[in-house]
Amino acid sequence: MSADRPNWVEEFESKGYAVIEDFATAEECDEMKAEMYRVMNGLDITTEHKTVFSTGEDQQQLKDDYFLTSGDKIRYFFEKDALDEQGELKVEKDKSLNKVGHALHWHSDVFKRFSFSKKMKGVMKGFRLEDPAIIQSMYIFKNPRIGGAVCPHQDASFLWLDPLKLYGVWLAVDDATLDNGCLWFIPGSHQEGKLDGERRMLRVTKKVGDEERVTLKHVGISPTPDDALYTACPVKKGSLVLIHGMVMHKSESNLSEKPRNAYTLHVIEQKGTVWSSENWLQPTAELPFTAMNAN
Ligand code: FE2
């Protein structure tokens, strides 16, 4: 292994994913989990969230708006069926959140420190990125018994740029096992170099009366690869899983008694690439994509 070519690079290039064990210490993981619970305790379900997630007129538009404008904020997304028709939580919020996103890396000191750490920048050097930028972050709960499955997908379906230089970084805050919903990959699937079913999630503008509204639209066909093609990727707490933007992956529901928390980032190469204006996520005046070398 040469100094500028870490030993995970070869595996990443051939399989489309790789694991760096012991990337974060147990203390760093515990600190992130504690920070997430601190942030979450500031969540007042009785205000905007109740409005957004209750059923009623224009509910889909409210949900789309809430998601579409979350790129530069800390926002909360619940498990399916966690809220009743009035928008009241059926289960405690610390047990029913699906994820928090999409700018923890900027608004929380704890997550910011980790996201822009020297060791994280070292990973980007391994990818040979010249001007890496963090475009989004998420804390994923996958709570015991309620944490839902994530269906097969390629991250580039949601975050497209040309050329496609998109890298997912997934930190196991808890042990991720076969029982609590670890990641599964189709090794080498990134090498096909295309989106299965030409699946994409796009922001589209539609006219409602005199008004122009931005909504989300899924195009193409949802991928349904053969289950036999997948390899499980159980990892220990503190492991970092690197995910190519084109590799097919999924995770199962968490039917166990143990949480499977994870902190994820998506990083792009800014130099020589063009970010798709059709992506749901766009840089904003409040938070442009955050260059890692400058922070
Ligand atoms: Fe993903």
Domains defined for the chain, CATH in brackets = 9-294 (2.60.120.620)
How many whole angstroms from 148 Cα to the centroid of ligand 1? Answer: 14
How many whole angstroms from 284 Cα to the centroid of ligand 1? Answer: 23
**Which single residue is written with the structure tokens 């959140």?**
97
pLDDT at 38: 92
Contact 202, 278 (CB under 8 A): yes
Query: Which of 176, 157, 150, 203 is closest to 262 using CA atoms?
Result: 176
pLDDT at 47: 61
The fraction of the chain above a pLDDT of 90, given in percent, is: 72
pLDDT in tens, 145-158: 888 899 999 999 99
How many whole angstroms from 46 Cα to the centroid of ligand 1? Answer: 30
pTM (2 d.p.) = 0.93
How many whole angstroms from 275 Cα to the centroid of ligand 1? Answer: 18
How many whole angstroms from 8 Cα to the centroid of ligand 1? Answer: 19
pLDDT at 78: 83
How many whole angstroms from 260 Cα to the centroid of ligand 1? Answer: 15
pLDDT in tens, 214-261: 999 999 999 999 999 999 999 999 999 999 999 999 999 999 999 999
Q: How many Å from the N-terminal Cα to the C-terminal Cα in the chain?
A: 28
pLDDT at 202: 94
Q: Region 263-283: what's the mean pLDDT? A: 97
How many whole angstroms from 165 Cα to the centroid of ligand 1? Answer: 15
pLDDT greater than 60 at residue 108:
yes
How many whole angstroms from 86 Cα to the centroid of ligand 1? Answer: 31
pLDDT greater than 80 at residue 62:
no
Reported confidence tier of residue 265, pLDDT bands at 50, 70, 90 = very high
Please give the backbone phi and psi of residue 136, each rounded to the nearest 5 degrees, phi first. -160, 160
What integer best gives the mean pLDDT of the chain? 91
Q: How far apart (Å, rounded) are the C-alpha atoms in residues 261 and 263? A: 7
Q: How far apart (Å, rounded) are the C-alpha atoms in residues 33 and 164? A: 32
pLDDT at 207: 87
List Cβ neighbours of 104 (8 Å cut-off, separation of 6 or more): 39, 74, 111, 137, 138, 139, 263
Which protein residues have a CB closer than 5 Å to ligand 1 (ion)?
155
How many whole angstroms from 170 Cα to the centroid of ligand 1? Answer: 9
How many whole angstroms from 253 Cα to the centroid of ligand 1? Answer: 15
Is 293 or 95 the better-scoring residue by pLDDT? 293
Burial (CB count within 10 angstroms: exposed 0-12, middle 13-18, buried 19+), residue 162: exposed
How many whole angstroms from 126 Cα to the centroid of ligand 1? Answer: 20
pLDDT at 273: 98
pLDDT at 5: 82
pLDDT at 42: 78
pLDDT in tens, 181-210: 999 999 999 999 999 999 999 999 988 888
Q: Report the length, in residues, of the chain.
A: 295
How many whole angstroms from 250 Cα to the centroid of ligand 1? Answer: 7
pLDDT at 55: 52
pLDDT greater than 80 at residue 49:
no
pLDDT at 1: 47
